[in-house]
Amino acid sequence: MDLTRAAAEALDDADPLAGFRSRFAGASDDGPDRLLYLDGNSLGRLPVATSAALARVVEEQWGEGLVGSWASWIGEATRIGDVLADGVLGARPGEVLVGDSTSVNLYKLLMAGVDARPGRDVLVCTADDFPTDRYIVGGVADSRGMTVREIAADIDEGLDPAVLAEALDERVAVVVLSHVAYRSGALADVVAITRLVQASGALVLWDLSHSVGAVPVELGAAGADLAVGCTYKYLNGGPGAPAFLYVRRELQDQLRSPIRGWFGHRDQFAMGPSYDPAAGIERFGVGTPPVLAMAAVEVGAALIAEAGVARLAVKGRAVTDLMVALADEWLAPSGVALASPRQAGRRGSHVTFAHPAAWQLTQALIDRRVVPDFRTPERVRLGPAPLYTRFVDVWDAMDRFRTVLDERAFEGYPAERARVT
Amino acid sequence: MDLTRAAAEALDDADPLAGFRSRFAGASDDGPDRLLYLDGNSLGRLPVATSAALARVVEEQWGEGLVGSWASWIGEATRIGDVLADGVLGARPGEVLVGDSTSVNLYKLLMAGVDARPGRDVLVCTADDFPTDRYIVGGVADSRGMTVREIAADIDEGLDPAVLAEALDERVAVVVLSHVAYRSGALADVVAITRLVQASGALVLWDLSHSVGAVPVELGAAGADLAVGCTYKYLNGGPGAPAFLYVRRELQDQLRSPIRGWFGHRDQFAMGPSYDPAAGIERFGVGTPPVLAMAAVEVGAALIAEAGVARLAVKGRAVTDLMVALADEWLAPSGVALASPRQAGRRGSHVTFAHPAAWQLTQALIDRRVVPDFRTPERVRLGPAPLYTRFVDVWDAMDRFRTVLDERAFEGYPAERARVT
């Protein structure tokens, strides 16, 4: 690979997604001291269209339309869900609902899945999954008198399906797994693992938070059962934006939400005496969705659907390949080790590096206007967003990273960790 | 009472809250054909300051500050909670958390309350409570093998504590009640009922959705255990705005959320192996809160705190008294019956009327730019918001209501009900 900056510029010139950069606030800056934002995997950038969309919802719909605007808001959770289903998740209309947080959605589907597998008393997750996933699995298991099998996943290389296979038997009700590992970016094989889990009679519940909008998610083709995911990362829906949930159509009638809110009712405004769950995906709704936040999700989801996940994945692999190649050349000699799968097809769109002073390196990079994030243990995580991160952004970020290492600038930072996001 | 329009104008001239009208979009219009919005008890008006606050969060904090803005967002749920605790709910700092929907919060506290009363297998609610409350109570009871005692509450006059007393015994774990009844506006006696329930050894969980920001809520003085509430009604937080939950400080250590999300963890960014709940109210957090929607809640909550609940309650009683007096004079002869407590001290800030053609009347009023809402069975609900509804707004609305009746204009509307909010 040609590792010159000119080569990176040439890749940008040939990037079919280049036109999308101008659709994001701040992403077109090309000054030498510009902010190099490599944390779109944590909080995606602001789409330029979001402000106007929000102003319309706030000033016209809320301010002027007042309560009458519920005529359009009422269908928002499924309308945005369908945009995600069709344009991003490879699912069918009526299989995706937007609302609540990823954690709440995970809880709802996990409880519903347990109820749909009576007599089975084991939940499976990986010991390395994102904390909220593990905590929720543990909480559900405790409350239902179930056992959790936390299986080993290599924190850099991800889950080996053979290890998972050993944990599956007729006692397992639901398996909770992340599609892309939050720390290493390791990509799980959704098709193979779904088949494996289903063969054991269990349900599989995918957390797509770190993959959606960056790598192809073909829920329909994989025959996936259940999924949840975040909209504030690659989907650029804004801080804490409402999450989504997916339930395969054929399963919807068999599952019931543990939280019987009025937005999951078949006829919520009849306000009748008993709870009668809606026929389709709406049965997994609970309370009134946060309309302002939903409006921002709609803009972000539509942008990703417009760009197309296939193109995003190609760009994601190329831009992380460049990052890995530059790290081999510039960072490895200073003791920075790749902590993600080396093969692009086995990664999402972020790459993680290990170094004993990862915490100090993170602080030094931020002071040099490179935004990565720190993850335990001793990892620096860099997430180029395929939709708006340029190849030269990666080149320049790695160049600043190299300088921090070469000048040992990170040594001036305190090793003691502050509370970080 | 002087029922002339001039008398209503005189009441407006003397209204100490009059200055707040200009703080809400559209509320200062005084043209003869203006919209008379009497549904602030369903969706409160847009505060003028909200657009700028949102623009700051979107463009400066998200657009420019990016992930670094979590330094200020991270404390938002308790910061806004403290504004509500101190300024609106009569609670102490650290007793209120903002986030999730009212339904999800009700579920969390109800499940936690059941766990805190082991050996008790009955939940109590009223047969007339807001649907989502009854549905969630039923769902929790089913999942825990408990029984629900749905006690009778007069749908116009509200709950008689003597009826509640009969339902209380050593089997009752949690009692779920609304402070102000969603249909009639009947006000429950929080102090007396809390004492009654606590004497039986049960916990009481108040739904404050229809009272908060309109009538005094003195959770601390009442020694209330648990509460949840909505921020998009009198708190003017915007459509579907994140709700709040309250747990009395002394109870917090004894209660655990059934949904163990990372925002309820003692040290969420340590991302450690096991779930260790936060020490205080934060243990009831779950996923990442919707920051954009939270920003609008902050504006609305601060406005109510600034106005002061005591003044709002005085205005609310006066404005609904005027409404009742005008209805007696103008509407009762046409068969419109008061379906709320007649005594102002026994009401929240909305008044409900019964008429066999309530659905058609609602449509006719909307066409004449009066916005009430319809509630089963055959009720028209009118909610003047003390902070921005004038006495003359009520006078003019009742005048248009009278005209609709006198001209029998409502008879031209279809009796078949559409889906309504």
Q: Which residue of B has its CA nearest to A130?
A: B271
Taking only the tens place, the pLDDT of each residue in B85-144 is 999 999 999 999 999 999 999 999 999 999 999 999 999 999 999 999 999 999 999 999
Q: Which residue of B has its CA nearest to A46?
A: B63
Taking only the tens place, the pLDDT of each residue in A405-418 is 999 999 999 988 87
pLDDT at B270: 81
For the ranges A62-66, B151-155, B390-394, the lowest mean pLDDT is seen at: B151-155
Taking only the tens place, the pLDDT of each residue in B22-72 is 999 999 999 999 999 999 999 999 999 999 999 999 999 999 999 999 999
**Average pLDDT estimate for B156-166:** 95
CA distance B267 to chain A (A): 8
- Would you tell me how many other CB atoms lie within 10 Å of the CB of residue B122? 20
CA distance B66 to chain A (A): 7
Q: What are phi and psi of A314, to 5 degrees?
A: -60, -50
Strands (E), B195-300: 203-207, 226-229, 244-247
Q: Which of B350, B347, B357, B343 is nearest to B401 (CA)?
A: B357
Q: What separation in angstroms does the CA of B377 have from each of A64, B39, B227, B248, B369?
A: 29, 18, 28, 36, 23
Confidence of residue B273 (pLDDT cuts 50, 70, 90): confident
Residue B9 has pLDDT above 80, yes or no: yes
Taking only the tens place, the pLDDT of each residue in A136-179 is 999 999 999 999 999 998 999 999 999 999 999 999 999 999 99
Residue A421 has pLDDT above 90, yes or no: no
Tell me whether A232 touches chain B (CB under 8 Å): yes
Tell me whether B39 touches chain A (CB under 8 Å): yes
Tell me whether A152 touches chain B (CB under 8 Å): no
Contacts of A136 in chain B (CB under 8 A): 259-261
Confidence of residue B419 (pLDDT cuts 50, 70, 90): low
Tell me whether B184 touches chain A (CB under 8 Å): no
Taking only the tens place, the pLDDT of each residue in B212-228 is 999 999 999 999 999 99
Interface test with A, best of B107, B232, B256 (most A CBs within 10 A): B107
CB–CB contact A45 B55 (8 Å): no
Residues of B noted as catalytic = 130, 207, 232-233, 381
Tell me whether A22 touches chain B (CB under 8 Å): no
CB pairs under 8 A between A and B: 270
Does residue B37 contact residue B57 with C-beta atoms inside 8 Å?
A: no
Residue B353 has pLDDT above 70, yes or no: yes
ipTM: 0.97
Residue B348 has pLDDT above 70, yes or no: yes
Sign of the Cα torsion B147, A283, B183, B308 reads positive
Give the position of tokens 């990509």: A187
CB–CB contact A265 B131 (8 Å): yes
Residue A22 has pLDDT above 80, yes or no: yes
Query: What does the DSSP assignment read for B73-102?
Result: HTTHHHHHHHHHIIIII---TTSEEE-S-H
Before B333, cis peptide (omega within 30)?
Answer: no
Tell me whether A69 touches chain B (CB under 8 Å): yes
Q: Which residue of B has its CA nearest to A272?
A: B131
Which H or E run contains A405? helix A391-406
Taking only the tens place, the pLDDT of each residue in A237-283 is 999 999 999 999 999 999 999 999 999 999 888 888 889 999 999 99
Confidence of residue A133 (pLDDT cuts 50, 70, 90): very high
Taking only the tens place, the pLDDT of each residue in A287-320 is 999 999 999 999 999 999 999 999 999 999 999 9
pLDDT at A419: 58
Tell me whether B258 touches chain A (CB under 8 Å): yes
Contacts of A378 in chain B (CB under 8 A): none
Distance CA(A189)–CA(A317), nearest Å, equals 16
Contacts of B130 in chain A (CB under 8 A): 262, 271
Does residue A85 contact residue A93 with C-beta atoms inside 8 Å?
A: yes
Q: Which two tokens stand for residue B177?
A: 């009640």
Q: Which two tokens stand for residue B329?
A: 């004079």
Distance CA(B21)–CA(B351), nearest Å, equals 21
Tell me whether B296 touches chain A (CB under 8 Å): yes
For residue B371, give the nearest of A66, A259, A294 by CB distance.
A66
CB–CB contact B290 A73 (8 Å): no
pLDDT at A258: 97
CB–CB contact A62 B43 (8 Å): yes
Q: Which residue of A has its CA nearest to B126?
A: A273
CB–CB contact A371 B274 (8 Å): no
Distance CA(A390)–CA(A30), nearest Å, equals 10
Q: What percent of chain B lies above the pLDDT cut of 70?
A: 99
Residues of A noted as catalytic = 130, 207, 232-233, 381
Q: Which of B222, B232, B376, B358 is nearest to B299 (CA)?
A: B232
Contacts of B73 in chain A (CB under 8 A): 239-240
Q: What percent of chain A lies above the pLDDT cut of 70?
A: 99
